Chains A and B, each alone.
Chain A
Amino acid sequence: MSKIASNRSVLDPRKASPFPIAALPALRNPQLRKNVAHAIDVIQSKRARLVVEKADWQELRSAASAIRSQALENLGKYLEEFEARCTAAGGKVHWAADASEARKIILDLLREEKATEVVKIKTMTSAEIQLNPALETAGVSVFETDLAELILQLGDEDPSHIVVPALHVNRSQVREIFARKMGLKNLSDDPKELTNAARNYLRRKFLTVPTAISGANFLIAETGSVAIVESEGNGRMCLTLPRTLITLAGIEKVLPRFQDLEVMLQVLARSATGERMNPYTSLWTGVTPGDGPQRFHVVLLDNGRSSMLARPVMRQTLKCIRCAACMNTCPVYRQTGGHAYGSVYPGPIGAIFTPQLMQMKHAQSLPFASSLCGACYEVCPVKINIPEVLLELRSQAVNQERKQVLRVFDPLYLGLRVANLLFAKAERFHAAQRLGRIGLWFFTRKDGWIHALPSVGAKWTQTRDLRGLPRQSFRDWWAAREKEAK
């Protein structure tokens, strides 16, 4: 099996191609299409079964949504509460305004520890701030310990899903990557053997590397605790064996009360992996003498998040608990997989989260990467109205476009501006219908259908025909009928 082409660095929204272009290689990749469809079908059907068995599923969603909203509406208060409780329990809380500050804080902490190696678990946020390259540059070796993340790291690949990040990689490719990077010449592609290879590799790291970096699923204000949910147990080892633990978390991850976990864990496991409960839920509060890491740091990352808080329509984006149900049900993600979104956050949630993280300076094509079918909103366990946010961001993108002089050369932009003038008066619209009939006559074949159009119309006719304009519009027919009746 051939080596997977390196996809590194495509997930930087500042450098990524616009979505329609980035999607092309994915659309023509049969292995990717098959893997994505298979993986999300499996998760989706498991989720559907578990949702049906919960008679109060809609109430659970409402509760989860209310908890997340409450946290965000009083974010400052809950974060300070978290800081106070966590500090009282022996942790140390750091505040990072942006990615570079977060990287600096973590690098300084590692220098203090004189760390040359770190093990990592469950942190997409570290990919958001491009932490790994910064650590490598500073001479710190990074070992991802989540199995899928390990595969990606060794294979020099980027994640394409937020819960099953290596879903685009095949078993035989995993075998090839492990054989090459772990020096195991006789490795077969038997899942058991592959798991054992990973286990041997990782156990050595867990036992020897004294410093760990983790993400967080939830921060609990009331107790100052941090929660991580996972399936493999590698996280549990990462969180308990090292001497020092650094947790990187977005400021939106906070929950007001400990009992909120009762709701959040129910909706998260069902939505994310289609399980009643995930196999490992780790909860810890500060440090416990003689048990687990003796130095514990939390880095709270803003990086654009607080700018989403002002307006409720945008704020709801931050309710996200990263379950990926939206991408599993999304008909667009189903075709393209995750890399096309050019961000560590793909799918519908990525299409609204990434442009906002970039303050709409990058990734403006993402809000348009949706047919607005609404399937994401329907499954979202915290009721984020993703189509509503997409529309808001589209409006912001168009407002930016209005300021550009060259926009008049965009036929779609021009067409929509002209259409607006036509729709303003029925007489104009009526005249345009008649003019259109004449204009399209040239393109209309004898069978009454249009097979090829120029310019933006070609985007339609490249895969579909278009019916030519009928001789009589409805309004003409109605007018003729009225006349006849008189």
Chain B
Amino acid sequence: MDKLRFFKYHSSSVWPPPATGADMRASLFITCYNDTLFPETGRAVVRLLERLGVDLEFHPKQTCCGQMHANTGFRGEAFSQARRFVQLYQDVETVVIPSSSCVAMIREQYPTLFQELGDEQLRQDFAALLPRIYELSEFLIDRMGVEDVGAYFPHRVVYHASCHGLRVLHLGDRPYWLLAKVRGLELVPARNADRCCGFGGTFSVKNAEVSSAMLAAKLQDIVSTRAEYCTALDNSCLMHLGGAMHRQYVGMKTIHLAQILAATEESPAEVTL
């Protein structure tokens, strides 16, 4: 067993990981801002997972995980959204979410919310659902056991490790393993890769100036890589970085990792504007 696979298996939550996506069912939670602002990411997740043989469903009653409210101090509101999420998904086989901060919200904050404000039944329902909730790269690597998803993306790319994916989900090298197997892709490292881009949800408007200073520093590190695309597992960071890239004509675009992984020779990536 080579070193990479050794680490992969030992950081995986399912042992042994199944070999293919055949006979696998998953319910998508696209999350509010991806649904509204970045539908191409959701479409890419569908293309990618269906290509790998996963049977997908989308629950039209879904809205938001409650992160925005929870992180701004609106606990009661966050709780009602959290309860909605659990009630909506408690019977599904697997939930896949292409947004690392939303998964972090669910994994890190729901238990506290339910303990403080919820009833025991809800807490138990959630505890049963929790192991079946996957961030996209976790689903691909830990649940499906694939690194090579057959993608083709002939561009120079820099990966931005979003804070919640890095420090709450501990995604580690998963995104790099996936990117390493994309044909044609040249992955370049950025300096200070573990430093926040300054988005932080409502932080970006409540402390707009400090957030902008953090963004300026991050942009310097990313733009100096001379990559064409900046990718991440979280469109919220990409919205922040992409907004500044567009404002400053830096000539770099942002693209969610799902869109790179969905791209093939026959049907190239849907790139935003």
Seen from chain A, the residues whose Cβ lies within 8 Å of a Cβ on chain B are: 19-20, 23-24, 27, 331-332, 334-336, 367-375, 377-378, 388, 391, 394-399, 412, 416-417, 419-420, 422-426, 429, 433, 436, 447-449, 451, 456-457, 459-460, 462-467, 469-470, 472-479
Q: How far is the CA of A456 from the CA of B239 in the complex (A)?
A: 17
Q: How far is the CA of A378 from the CA of B204 in the complex (A)?
A: 22
Q: Does the CB pair A420–B212 fall under 8 Å?
A: no
Q: How far is the CA of A369 from the CA of B62 in the complex (A)?
A: 31
Which residue of A27, A412, A422 is within 8 Å of B209 (Cβ)? A27
Q: Does the CB pair A429–B63 fall under 8 Å?
A: yes
Q: Does the CB pair A397–B69 fall under 8 Å?
A: no
Kindly identify, within residues 136 to 190 of chain B, every residue whose CB is under 8 Å from any CB belonging to chain A.
163-164, 167-168
Q: Does the CB pair B73–A466 fall under 8 Å?
A: no
Q: Does the CB pair A370–B203 fall under 8 Å?
A: yes
Q: How far is the CA of A481 from the CA of B201 in the complex (A)?
A: 32
Q: Is the CB of B255 closer than 8 A to any CB of chain A? A: no
Q: Does the CB pair A331–B195 fall under 8 Å?
A: yes
Given known A20-B210, A449-B246, contact A419–B75 (CB-CB < 8 A): no
Q: Does the CB pair A463–B196 fall under 8 Å?
A: no
Q: Is the CB of B70 closer than 8 A to any CB of chain A? A: yes
Q: How far is the CA of A137 from the CA of B71 in the complex (A)?
A: 44
Given known A420-B80, A475-B58, A479-B60, contact A394–B71 (CB-CB < 8 A): yes
Q: Does the CB pair A373–B210 fall under 8 Å?
A: no
Count of B interface residues, CB-CB < 8 Å: 68
Q: Is the CB of B273 closer than 8 A to any CB of chain A? A: yes
Q: Does the CB pair B243–A369 fall under 8 Å?
A: no
Which residue of A372, A399, A463 is within 8 Å of B208 (Cβ)? A463
Question: Measured between C-beta atoms, what is the minimum distance from B60 to chain A in Å?
Answer: 6
Q: Is the CB of B64 closer than 8 A to any CB of chain A? A: yes
Kindly identify, within residues 53 to 73 of chain B, every residue whose CB is under 8 Å from any CB belonging to chain A.
58, 60-64, 66, 68-73
Q: How far is the CA of A16 from the CA of B234 in the complex (A)?
A: 36
Which residue of A332, A470, A474 is within 8 Å of B214 (Cβ)? A332
Which residue of A374, A425, A459 is within 8 Å of B164 (Cβ)? A374
Q: Does the CB pair A420–B74 fall under 8 Å?
A: yes
Residues on the B chain within 8 Å of A20, using CB: 206-210
Q: In the complex, what residue of chain A is closest to B56 when comparing beta carbons?
A: A478
13 A–B contacts from the bound complex (CB under 8 Å)? A20-B210, A27-B209, A335-B214, A394-B73, A412-B72, A412-B202, A423-B84, A459-B205, A463-B212, A463-B244, A474-B34, A477-B39, A477-B43
Which residue of B36, B71, B77, B217 is within 8 Å of A391 (Cβ)? B71
Q: Is the CB of B30 closer than 8 A to any CB of chain A? A: yes
Question: Measured between C-beta atoms, what is the minimum distance from B77 to chain A in Å?
Answer: 4
Kindly identify, within residues 23 to 53 of chain B, every residue whose CB is under 8 Å from any CB belonging to chain A.
30, 32, 34-40, 42-43, 46
Q: Does the CB pair A426–B168 fall under 8 Å?
A: no
Residues on the B chain within 8 Å of A378, using CB: 167
Seen from chain B, the residues whose Cβ lies within 8 Å of a Cβ on chain A are: 30, 32, 34-40, 42-43, 46, 58, 60-64, 66, 68-75, 77, 80-81, 84, 109, 112, 163-164, 167-168, 194-196, 198-215, 217, 239-240, 242-244, 246-247, 272-273
Q: In the complex, what residue of chain B is closest to A463 when comparing beta carbons?
A: B212
Given known A331-B198, A422-B63, contact A416–B69 (CB-CB < 8 A): yes
Question: Measured between C-beta atoms, what is the minimum distance from A465 to chain B in Å?
Answer: 4
Given known A20-B209, A23-B210, A391-B109, contact A372–B200 (CB-CB < 8 A): yes
Q: Does the CB pair B212–A472 fall under 8 Å?
A: no
Given known A20-B206, A474-B43, A475-B58, contact A373–B63 (CB-CB < 8 A): no
Q: Does the CB pair B203–A371 fall under 8 Å?
A: yes
Residues on the B chain within 8 Å of A433, using CB: 35-36
Q: Does the CB pair A465–B246 fall under 8 Å?
A: yes
Q: Does the CB pair B167–A371 fall under 8 Å?
A: no
Q: How far is the CA of A476 from the CA of B39 in the complex (A)?
A: 9
Q: Does the CB pair B62–A426 fall under 8 Å?
A: yes
Q: Does the CB pair B84–A424 fall under 8 Å?
A: yes
Given known A463-B215, A467-B37, A474-B35, contact A412–B206 (CB-CB < 8 A): yes
Residues on the B chain within 8 Å of A399, using CB: 73
Q: Does the CB pair A449–B69 fall under 8 Å?
A: no
Question: Measured between C-beta atoms, what is the minimum distance from B104 to chain A in Å?
Answer: 9
Q: Does the CB pair A460–B199 fall under 8 Å?
A: no
**A-B CB proximity, top 4 nearest:** A371-B200, A464-B243, A394-B73, A398-B73
Residues on the B chain within 8 Å of A463, using CB: 208, 212, 215, 244, 247
Q: Does the CB pair A373–B200 fall under 8 Å?
A: yes
Q: Does the CB pair A473–B168 fall under 8 Å?
A: no
Question: Measured between C-beta atoms, what is the minimum distance from B20 to chain A in Å?
Answer: 23
Q: Does the CB pair A416–B77 fall under 8 Å?
A: yes
